[in-house]
Structure 1
Amino acid sequence: MAGRGSPWRWQEQEMQAVGFGLLLLLLPLPRAGLRAPPDSVSCSQGLSCRVLEADGLCSPGVVVLASGPVLVPTQMRMESVPHCTAASDCSLCVQVELQLAVLGPQEEVAGEGIRDGPGMDALQHRDNGPLLSSVLLLVQTYPSSRCVAIRVQLPRALAQPNRTVGSMWFHCFEAVLRGELHVTSYTSPRYRAVLSQTHRVPDCSWPAARAAIRLCQVPRLQISVGPEHVVVQLQDVPTGQNFTVWFYWNQTRGPKGLRTERGPQNYSLPSAQLLPCLCLQVWPDIPDHPRISRCPFTQDPVAWSRLWAQAQLKVHLTEGRLSCSVSAPCPVPAVLVPCWRLKRAGPCHELPHLRQALTLPSLHEFGTLQPHPNLCVQVWSGGRVQLMQCLQEGAKRVQPANLLLMETRDPQGNSLLCAMERGTCVPLASSTCLGVGVGALEQQLRQDVQSGHCLEVWRAEGSVVGTGWACSLEKYLRARWALAWMGGLLSAFCILLLLLLKKENLKGWLKILKEDYSSGGALRGRRALILYSPDHAGFERLVSTLACALTRLQLAVSVELWSRAELCAIGPMQWFHAQRLRVLQEGGTVVLLFSRGAVARCTEWLLWKQGQMLPRDDPYSAFSASLNCILPDFLAGKAGGRYLVACFEDLLRPADLPELFHSVPIFTLPSQLPTFLLALAGTAAGREQKSSLKKHSLWIGDSLQRAIRECQLQEPAGHCPA
């Protein structure tokens, strides 16, 4: 009595469909086994299937209307699997999986085409027999074809219209390595469109093929790298099998062959040919056999070092346009970086937004750059500079610049200037790398840019990159020196005039000058290098006070604070080595002036262990750069007579210094200032000179005490404690 629209009947059908769907999900799919018999078929639970004909003739024909529910394939998937008759005798074949669904009765309506017809429930009620379907698989390969007929059966109780009821697997169609199969599937008679799919068979690089197929089993390569030769040995060579080995360079324009070897199992190559792109192909002496390629040196650091030693970078200047080319025996992942170098031995700072990816072989042009002697081009790869060349010959005959400016525009169209330092643009008022007050020169520099006295380095391009200007500060420096000389002469004239007006005090002035000269005699000709950690501006003012006082005693003092221009030009490590070498060669002393920041940096270096990351310090601090050289001297016991250690007693206790530095004299300033000055004077100081140094230690100590109080008042707690 339940009709098509009966709620109970549709609820029962939905429950059966849901249960059957869960059953299909829980059932394990048949694994692509290696021992399944050929031309076999298997189905998921609920379906039964068997092969009717393994090699016949078939034709899809035309689509006909289904008068009742029928089984049809809806989806097809193919997979390459090894087919083995024995453990070591396998071939390659393709397994086909079909998903089957029930197609209900159909009818053709004029103007609408074919659609599902009514009466599915009535047909299902009248006929309780199983659904039978003949599924055809047609495989086509070059130059043959084959058709397989399969009978599939489904109990009518499990039939649900337009729903997937299970899967069928056919095992399997024979295939060849690197071949191609075109498979079509449909039913006879055909009720739906033909399923069609093309499958590409893998080659011997497929892991399953290397493990199971004899033709893909090639020897292992054992590579030994010596100082002059690279030895390649074939291991696990099958008995009675001969192989060919081809050595080649895998280059951008295709492989470049080096040599081909046959017969022996050991081969030797010169070490000069060991490059990252050196590859090998191995194949047995069988016609049309697939080849196995290996490139074992792609991650070898020695091979990369040899490649960069053979690579060349050339900077060209053609008709006023700057370009460069790179030649290398292998393709390299690298970028070209234009940079700006102030001095010949100094660092080269990257110019912003001008990087280019390196492609080989090709000519790279920098259309926005104008030739200038300070311009260079670097090749970056692996996080470091591999090649660099500067534009020396062919550049414009202009004076090298010591300041690089970038001009940009704000949204209102106003011109903005900033100084390029270490790859970033710094406001002129904050630029200190040149050792002069660049902020005070901003107006003059703007006038030079507008009047054309500065040379254009690159042109404006878009809103990100401004215009680069190379300017020289020589004229400003000369003007400042001239003013300084005039001021000094005027001051000397005023002093002499006062002395003449006060003749009664002339003898006292001469006596003071004589004492200054005699006291300075003990330190004249002596040299000292003061190393300190620039923790903050207050501590640097304190260091400057001490250095100025020692300079008045005619001691030649080298300190980072007074050498910022040179330090920025050549780098902190080069500056430290040059100063230390000069001081020690002239019998001078290296003074380690400790603060809390210096103690922290030394402690990090002393606690560093092999394999850990190096402490991260300011890359522009001479103290951080000097630790690589100073600490080994102390560890090796070579610090005596060459180093002195000092600290300001109100800022740091001697007990807080690392134990390593107690091997040399430690002076607390200003209380031990007299003995500190005598240590700087050395053993050649006489009695009168020592007495005069002790007198001068009084006014030096007062200056240091005032500077320490200023540091304690201005700096926050923890930097200059009370």
Structure 2
Amino acid sequence: MQAVGLGLFLMLLPRAGRCAPPAAISCSQGLACRLLEMDVLCSPGDMVLSADPVLVPTHMRMESVLHCAGASECSPCVRVELQLAVLGSPEEAPGEGIRDSRGKDALQHWDGGPLLSWMLLSAWTNPSSRCVAMEVRLPRALARPNQTVGSVRFDCFEVALRGLVHVTSYTSPRYWEVLSQTHRVSDCSWPAAQGTIRLCQVPKVQVSMGPEEAVVQVQDVPVGQNFTLWFYRNQTRELKGLSPKTVRGPQNYSLPSSQLLPCLCLQVWPDVVDSPRTSLCPFSQDPAAWTHLWAQARVTLQLRGGMLNCSVSVPCAVSGELMPCWRPKSARLCHELPHLRQALTLSTKSYYEFQTLQPHPNLCVQVRSAGHVRLTQCLQEGAVPGRPADLLLMETKDPQGNMLLCAMEQGSCVPLASSTSMGVGVGALEQQLQQAVREGQCMQVWSAEGSRVGTGWACSLENYLRARWALAWMGGLLSTCCLLFLFLLKKEDLKGWLKFLKEGYSSEGALRGRRALILYSPDHAGFERLVSTLASALSQLQLSVSLELWSRAELGAVGPMQWIHAQRLQVLEEGGIVILLFSRGAVARCTQWLLRVQGELLPQTEPHSTFLASLNCILPDFLAGKAGGHYVVACFEDLLRPADIPELFRSVPIFTLPSQLHTFLLALAGVAVGREQKGSLKKHAMWISDSLQRAICECQLQEPEGRCPPPVCP
């Protein structure tokens, strides 16, 4: 009767007529199993109920293995393992089925023999499928209803690399639910596949950089296997002039240095359909490749519907920042506008719109990447309203709602009283400029809406300068008369004074174009006036000075740490110098900082002071020995002894003021100072020393141990 049932089973499940690869099944101890057919036509059908216990698969597990015909001739396949259990009474079977009375009679005939189960494994992959028939026997003595009794394993279903296989399992007739599971085979990164699967045996690629070309070496090409080598840009998947090349054995390929870009990559793969590919991008960190990238990049400014638009074209995708900046007429540097920088990823062709900016001839856009300005593009003069000689002002409000104006210089907002914009002091014009802003005579560059800073205005100084020049001519005539009168009184002294004017402030100055950042501790109002006196004197010598006292509006908007970090970075990038101006308060704060316990809260200080914040930025340079050439230390000799300055800061030159003012100015000017400029700085030092001495005396009067007699201070 069993033979008749098996024959009926095979008739119902005919052979597929295809040649199947070698396969095998195995089962755990106590079970007997054999493979019936490798290719049959199968279907789950309806579930039936059995009055007697039956052997059914309850769980399925799959894993990727290798099927090998030789040591290096392997292919991936999927092994299937089924956990088997004895299904008890019909009440415990899930769902409703069709009672198989004919099957029940057949099973009753075998009451004294083992439990027999015919099981099917159906595997589907795109574009083929396979169904395997197995027979499993369990001795009746080992049957335990509703318990796992062992397992059966099938080796195996062949699947391609990266292939997906869907396997189902059930009995015939079906006494239990259909088991279903999906499994994906790994790619050539699978350790078992490397060295055993022919498709995964790709050659090695090594790149050697030369001064004019790069050499790509293809090594370890398997014998008898052809490969394709392809160069491409990783975001466009194309590269003109470099078509795929066929590799037949070890070869070298040369690439001109002009074609090297950070996104230039290569792929190599065997000449087999749907084969895996090995990718390599060897130039992503090469400095020469980055130089070629920025040489091919372009930035364009244009107006669309009255709105300022910017387009950036780069051959490779790169992260960067767009920085709107302001470059006055005949200026070399473009000063960044505060809080308008945009971080972005530049693609092959990118477009950006500045909604808060109004077009002006002085507006430019810079592209910054990896900490450096790579591209700069400005609007053309005459293409938009405004004059290149306009002065850029920023309008803010004080707590009472009154208008405050400051001039944008070197990326900072400087009070008009201290501004030397365009080489002209504009402090005396503050009232006129405020009136011009109120009456709409100035052009709005950016609006306060949506901005973290105030409104920007471009104001013309032409009318005011003409009036000032008229007054200057009248003053000049009066001065000439006075000079002639003095010439008659004291001819020799007049000659010396005229010579000083000729060599002094009338010259361009040795400090012109240099930039400096002054860091100090605001001990009290008298010391701040002293620091302002020094900074103003340096500004008169055409040194661009950044000072906390002059940037309180911006400091309040961004915070001390962000302000000092941005100022220090700009000064060092432009070859400037940082001046550490020590006082008793600075020494006390610095000592407290250096001796603080880790985890202790920072000491409290004034809300606008940057001195403690500056220690975070400058201490790493001193601790690493990198402060030389970038920092100088100074103190006022009547207020602090040089010996009181902490030892850490003595690795750079220390100047006592005003006695060493001349050498201090020479240090700020740098090495490129001529003999005439040295003489001019010496005369300036004499004039500045008088101003500093008066300010020092006023400062001493505000200190508890000040000993400067009041009559000496004017």
The two structures share one fold, judged by TM-score above 0.5: yes
Work out the CA distance in 2 between the residues paired with 1:199 and 1:667.
Answer: 76
Contact 1:275 1:306 (8 Å CA) reproduced: yes
Please tell me whether residue 145 in structure 1 is matched to residue 129 in structure 2: yes
Q: 1:50 aligns with which of 33, 37, 62?
A: 33
Change (3 A) 1:659 1:203: closer
C-alpha deviations, 1:221-268, integer Å up to 9, x for none?
Answer: 121111111111122222344433222333336565613333461111
What amino acid sits opposite 1:260 in the alignment?
P
The answer on 1:472 being equivalent to 2:459 is: yes
Which residue of 512, 534, 538 maps to 2:519? Answer: 534
Over 3 Å counting, the alpha-carbon distance change for 1:676 and 1:591 in structure 2 is farther
3-state DSSP class of the match of 2:244? strand
* Cα distance, 1:308–1:469 mapped onto 2, change above 3 Å: same
User: Which secondary structure does the structure 1 equivalent of 2:284 belong to?
Assistant: coil
2:638 matches 1:653: no
Q: Secondary structure at the match of 1:372?
A: coil
Matching of residues 572-587 of structure 1 within 5 Å: 572=571
Q: What are the Cα deviations for residues 457-501 of structure 1, in whole angstroms up to 9, with x where unaligned?
A: 45687x677985423273897599799989999x99xxx9xxxxx
**Native 8 Å contact 1:132 1:152 kept in 2:** yes
Deviation at 1:311, TM superposition (A): 1.5
Q: Kindly tell me: are residues 40 and 349 of structure 1, through their superposed partners in 2, closer, same or farther at Cα, counting changes over 3 Å?
A: farther
Question: 1:259 maps to which residue?
Answer: 243
One-letter amino acid matched to 1:211: G
C-alpha deviation, 1:535, in angstroms: 1.0
Contact 1:95 1:172 (C-alpha < 8 Å) held by counterparts: yes
Say whether the 8 Å CA contact 1:572–1:620 is kept in structure 2.
no
Deviation at 1:402, TM superposition (A): 3.6
Structure 1 214/475 Cα, relative in aligned 2: closer, same or farther at 3 Å?
A: same
What amino acid maps onto 1:55 in structure 2? M
**8 A contact 1:182–1:197 mirrored in 2:** yes
Match of 1:373 in 2: 361
Amino acid at match of 2:252: N
Aligned residue for 2:279?
A: 293
Aligned to 1:352: 340
Shift in Å, 1:306: 2.0
> 1:307 aligned to 2:293?
yes
Letter in 2 for 1:470: W
2:134 matches 1:173: no
- CA pair 351-128 structure 1, distance change in 2 beyond 3 A: farther
Residue 187 of structure 1: CA displacement? 2.0
Inter-partner Cα distance in structure 1 for 2:183 and 2:532: 80
TM-score by length of 1: 0.61
What's the CA shift for 1:313? 1.5
Counterpart of 2:35, as a letter, is: L
Equivalent residues in 2 for 1:505-584 (5 A)? 525=503, 533-537=518-522, 539=527, 541-543=529-531, 560=545, 572=571
CA RMSD for the aligned pairs? 6.4
Which of the numbers 388, 392, 398 marks the counterpart of 1:403? Answer: 392
> What are the ranges of 5 or more consecutive residues in structure 1 without an aligned counterpart?
1-36, 118-126, 497-505, 581-589, 605-614, 635-642, 685-689, 715-722
- Contact 2:165–2:182 (Cα < 8 Å) also in 1: yes
Distance, in Å, in 1 between the alignment partners of 2:157 and 2:300 is 58
Deviates more, 1:555-564 or 1:208-217: 555-564
Q: 1:91 aligns with which of 58, 72, 75?
A: 75
CA distance in 2, matches of 1:659, 1:292: 53
Q: Percent identity?
A: 45
The 10-residue stretch of structure 1 (200-209 or 259-268) with the greater mean CA deviation from structure 2 = 200-209
Corresponding residue of 1:24? none
Kindly indicate whether residue 48 of structure 2 is the aligned counterpart of residue 64 of structure 1: yes
Q: Structure 1 residues 669 and 105, CA, compared in 2 at 3 Å: closer, same or farther?
A: same
Q: Do the aligned partners of residues 149 and 224 (structure 1) sit closer, same or farther apart at CA in structure 2, a change above 3 Å counting?
A: same
Which residue matches 2:204?
220
Worse-superposed segment, 372-381 or 643-652: 643-652
Instruction: Give the SS at the match of 2:193.
Output: helix
1:64-143 matches, cutoff 5 A? 64-67=48-51, 70-74=54-58, 76-98=60-82, 105-106=89-90, 114=96, 133-141=117-125
> Residues 146 and 299 from structure 1, CA distance in 2 versus in 1: closer, same or farther, beyond 3 angstroms?
same
Report the TM-score, using the length of structure 2 for normalisation.
Answer: 0.62
Shift of 1:177: 3.4
Distance 2:495 2:648 in 1: 39
Residue 242 and residue 711 in structure 1: after superposition, are their counterparts in 2 closer, same or farther (change >3 A)?
farther
> Is 1:455 aligned with 2:427?
no
Tell me the amino acid that sits aligned with residue 286 of structure 2.
D
Whether the 8 Å CA contact 2:583–2:635 is kept in 1: the answer is: no
Quote the Cα distance in structure 2 between the aligned partners of 1:258 and 1:575.
41
What is the CA deviation profile of residues 602-660 of structure 1, one whole-angstrom value per residue up to 9, with x for unaligned ones? xx9xxxxxxxxxx9958999xx99x99994599xxxxxxxx998751541235858799
Q: Secondary structure at the match of 1:114?
A: coil
Please give the residue correspondences for 1:308-707 in structure 2 after superposition, counting only pairs within 5 Å. 308-341=294-327, 344-349=332-337, 351-352=339-340, 357-367=345-355, 369-393=357-381, 395-400=383-388, 401-403=390-392, 405=394, 451-458=439-446, 468-472=455-459, 474=461, 525=503, 533-537=518-522, 539=527, 541-543=529-531, 560=545, 572=571, 631=628, 647-654=636-643, 704-707=696-699
SS at match of 1:251: coil
Shift of the 472–245 alpha-carbon distance from structure 1 to 2, 3 Å rule, reads same
How far did 1:138 drift? 1.2
Equivalent residues of 1:334, 1:380 under 8 A apart: yes
1:547 and 1:407 mapped to 2: Cα distance?
24
- Does the 8 A contact of 2:314 with 2:347 survive in 1? no
Contact 1:542 1:708 in 2 (8 A): no
Say if 2:31 and 2:138, in contact at 8 Å, map to a contact too.
yes
1:211 is paired with a residue whose SS is coil
Q: Which residue of 2 aligns with 1:235?
A: 219
**Contact 1:434–1:564, Cα closer than 8 Å, also in 2:** no
Q: Would you say the 8 A contact 1:525–1:556 is kept in 2?
A: no
- Between the two proteins, the alignment pairs up a number of residues equal to 594
Separation in 1, partners of 2:176, 2:133? 17
Aligned to 1:710: 702
Indicate if the aligned counterparts of 1:42 and 1:169 stay in contact, CA closer than 8 A.
yes
Q: Deviations over 1:18-56 (max 9, x none)?
A: xxxxxxxxxxxxxxxxxxx9634456x788463432514
Partner-residue secondary structure (3-state), 1:181: strand
1:377–1:388 contact (8 Å) kept in structure 2: yes
Asked whether the equivalents of residues 51 and 149 of structure 1 are also in contact (C-alpha less than 8 Å), the reply is no
